[in-house]
Structure 1
Amino acid sequence: MSNLDSQIRERTRLRRRDVIALTAIMTMVFVVLAMTGGIGIWEAIAAVAAVAALGFIYYLLVTAPVRREPPAIIAPAARPVENPLHLADTIVARLPTPVLVIGPGGRIEQANPAARDFLGLGAEGAQLSAVLRQPKVLESISGALRGEAQKPVEYSTFAPMESHIRAHVIPLKTGLEGPFPWRALLVMSDETSIKRADRMRADFLANASHELRTPLASLAGFIETLRGHAREDIGARDRFLSIMQDQTERMRRLIDDLLSLSRVEMDEHLPPSDEVDVAAIARDTVDVLGPIAREKGVMIEADADERAIVTGQRDQLIEVAQNLVENAIKYSVSGSRVVIEVRGGLTREQAEHSSHSLGNQAARVTIAVPSGSASGQAKRRFAVIRVRDAGVGIERRHLPRLSERFYRVDGQKSGPKEGTGLGLAIVKHIVSRHRGGFVVESAQGEGSVFSVFLPMPVEKPAIQEAGPARS
């Protein structure tokens, strides 16, 4: 009986330690989330109160004296009471914010699914330094493992995608005996959207003020002329009003493109997850831009597979197709043909190098490439949107700069339908967000081919229902 008593006491001590440690961890997590704006202050207070109540109830249960004699009648419970520790683990697992518990030597002892996805962890037990190469964060964790309070650490990465992270490191006293009584709680907050918004606001003001200066100056000059000596000149007034309308339309296109580019760049680090049929988008693009092509005497047609499903956002992919086809129509000569082709089920190499040949003199440049490891890309399949025109072509020296903001090729910078120089920049950023590729091939006198290839959905194997999280 003494041996049994000692086992019960030891088990009770361990349970007390576990519930105190877990309640402290949960409280810290909700406090950090409230401080960073992840959840509201009242939600955090309610969550902390619920966790504290559950921890207190469980503490009373595990410290209650054990009755040796069994009850006369054991009635089955109508509904089993969920383990409070399991409930707390479930809450942490459902949090969208990466949360990790780091043990001695920088070993990852616990990580919620958001942290595993964010860091690409295969399993717990790995060294944090192997997946997070940020010296300031690792130094802060080393200090927390010694029981020292730490300040938030900010760091940025720019490959494969730009991201800005704020890491909160909190020392946790476990109550364990031995040389390593401390653990480090690492909570990572993604502030990319906030940083991008600040930068986009400054860029938008700078770009808009620069590009709008010329049409605004033209409008001011024409208005002054119409109010002066051309007041009674009907011919001059009609001519000036027509030019003013063109300049106003140019400003409208410029503002629309700047807003579109800002929206795309804001979400570029967040890949889309919907399934989109790009073959249907190609056919819709032909229907929408057909009148513009006929007005210029250009024939436009779609050569698309029956279905080509990609992982993407439909509105943005429509913008890609329409930008490429509209450019092709704009720079094609009357009587020529523009073709938008869609092919699916291609490897990356096939998608990148299977464009229509324009001859040995054609120049080729890759503007964007799919992100991810080479082994992962080798297994993926891609769908290609390819737009070919029979225009004058583009000189080799211009190709690398086509996707720069406001860059326009010489000889294409004037006229009432002058572009804003933002269309291909928008295409590049949309393709980057979709983790796809963008290739341009052109030969002077023969035309150009713009190819965009996008990842197709991956068939996921059936996943068995996971058991309860470890405490």
Structure 2
Amino acid sequence: MTDTRAAARIDLDPLRRWVVILPALAAMGLAAVLQPGVAPVLAAGAVVTVMALVLLRRPSLALPISEQDEPDVSAAGAALAAEALEALPDPLLVIAGDDAEDVGDRAIVRANAAAAALLRLPSGGQDHPLHAAIRDPNLLEAIDEALFGRRTQSIDYEPGGAQDRHWSAWVAPLPGHGEAEGRLAVLRLRDETDSKRAEMMRVDFLANASHELRTPLASLSGFIETLRGHARDDPAAREKFLSIMAVQAERMTRLVADLLSLSRIELNEHIPPSGKVDLAGAVSDVVDATGPLAARRGIRLKVTREGEGSASVTGDRDQLIQVIQNLTDNAIKYSPDDTEVEIDLRVGVGADDAARVRTPNAAGLPLLTPDRDSQARYVLITVRDHGPGLARETMPRLTERFYRVEGQKSGERLGTGLGLAIVKHIVNRHRGGMTVESIVGEGAAFGVYLPLRVAAP
């Protein structure tokens, strides 16, 4: 539209000038005839007017009129490309390197917002050393092949960290940026965590279910065969076998439910929750729910709190209640009758303080450590029992699926061996940490710490 207006102005301006000048020349000629004394002055004015008209009609002098209204096409295109780059959901980087031998020569010259957030690059990542942001040797080798071998390829990339992520990395050289112009390559990362986790979930579920359900199914088959045979007319044996069958069926139901719950949690483990949860209220709800079960065995639930301010975190309330519920159930299950289970809530602790062993002479171990952030403050929940305790050599395996400590009795109901694995994956999704400490014969304490919710400015 601007070009059309400029063209119209260029076409109409000469016509307007002639409309004004021609009557002026005619008037000057008439005046010269009527007044001979002013003829030289009028003639000079006519010459100047005609020269000015000729000069104005020259294209070189008419250019500034159109140039003032022409937009800067190159600048607008660059700005539009930059905005499109920032809006892309996939991380995208432009990488430069001129020396094939000097690994430290590789630098990130441009990164969009998604890449800067993923790799924690300051100020868009401009001139940031590549090896400081990416340490995977396979990906670094692929980038070098794009820079110096002009080769395009796709590889798998797993950056590591507390949350296991799977990326598909595509690397290609930028056309027109070879040895003479300066070598540039583009790196695009695509998140394939969802598909990888879905595939792993199917495989793990089938493997775990087929392994863990084999024993109770075999027991049920044997009892059914016995009831159809010589125990058919024995009321006492029939009642005994039916009772055992009911326990096995209940265990299979809980096992399938826990496996499905764990699979769903692992599937979304890399996606942080967004809700607001008051952990003090969640602890209170769990105590109300588990109080009757503990009271039947004379076990008292004692809740204490330290620290000022709100105990709110960003999270999924149902999952966090499941965390506290599982830890409290375990503490009740392994506690002797007429003892105490202590639930301690501490607000505003640092990561190092949250992971510290508090019981003198106790063996402790971090079961899950969040990505390091010295500025973060956490809410720490510690559930302590006074049961048989745990030997140090058993601690690293506590969050494995179906792992059970040999020789320990767990009360009336046999667990599925998935409770602590579920706790670990939920806490990891909430970007928190998990610890255990114990003294054999005196009890164990499990701690879970979650980052405090930061109030919006």
Question: TM-score category by the smaller chain?
Answer: 0.7 to 0.9
Unaligned runs of 5+ in 2: 1-59, 70-74, 99-105
**Matches of 2:367 and 2:302 in 1, distance apart?**
25
Q: Tell me the residue number matched to 1:323.
A: 326
- Of 339, 347, 355, which aligns to 2:350? 347
**Matches of 1:237 and 1:431 in 2, distance apart?**
45
CA spacing shift, 1:415–1:448, aligned 2, 3 Å: closer
The aligned amino acid for 1:311 is T
**Matches of 2:302 and 2:84 in 1, distance apart?**
53
8 Å Cα contact 2:91-2:113 kept in structure 1: yes
The aligned amino acid for 2:310 is R
CA spacing shift, 1:95–1:69, aligned 2, 3 Å: closer
Whether 1:212 and 2:205 are equivalent positions in the alignment is: no
- TM-score w.r.t. length of structure 1: 0.73
Q: Tell me the residue number matched to 2:260.
A: 259
Structure-to-structure mapping, 1:60-459, within 5 angstroms: 68=63, 70=65, 83=76, 85-105=78-98, 106-122=106-122, 123-145=125-147, 148-174=150-176, 179-180=180-181, 183-304=184-305, 307-353=310-356, 355=358, 357=359, 359-360=360-361, 362-372=362-372, 376-377=373-374, 379-412=375-408, 417-458=413-454
8 Å Cα contact 1:147-1:173 kept in structure 2: no
**Matches of 2:86 and 2:391 in 1, distance apart?**
54
8 Å Cα contact 2:357-2:437 kept in structure 1: no
**Matches of 2:178 and 2:208 in 1, distance apart?**
61
SS at the partner of 2:238?
helix
**Matches of 2:248 and 2:239 in 1, distance apart?**
14
Unaligned runs of 5+ in 1: 1-64, 75-81, 463-471
8 Å Cα contact 1:173-1:181 kept in structure 2: no
CA spacing shift, 1:67–1:260, aligned 2, 3 Å: farther
8 Å Cα contact 1:412-1:418 kept in structure 2: no
Task: Quote the RMSD (CA, aligned, Å).
Answer: 3.0
* Percent identity over paired residues: 49
The aligned amino acid for 1:366 is P
Q: Tell me the residue number matched to 1:42.
A: none
8 Å Cα contact 2:334-2:409 kept in structure 1: no
Question: Size of the alignment, in residue pairs?
Answer: 382
8 Å Cα contact 1:144-1:169 kept in structure 2: yes
**Matches of 1:433 and 1:292 in 2, distance apart?**
29
Q: C-alpha displacement at 1:242, in angstroms? A: 1.6
**Matches of 1:177 and 1:259 in 2, distance apart?**
53
Q: Tell me the residue number matched to 2:50.
A: none
CA spacing shift, 1:439–1:144, aligned 2, 3 Å: closer
How big is each residue's C-alpha offset from its partner over 1:6-45, in whole Å with a ceiling of 9 and x where there is no partner?
A: xxxxxxxxxxxxxxxxxxxxxxxxxxxxxxxxxxxxxxxx
Q: C-alpha displacement at 1:429, in angstroms? A: 2.3
8 Å Cα contact 1:394-1:444 kept in structure 2: yes
**Matches of 1:229 and 1:309 in 2, distance apart?**
61
The aligned amino acid for 1:118 is L
The aligned amino acid for 1:368 is L
How big is each residue's C-alpha offset from its partner over 1:307-341, in whole Å with a ceiling of 9 and x where there is no partner?
A: 31223332221111000000011111222222222
**Matches of 2:178 and 2:448 in 1, distance apart?**
60
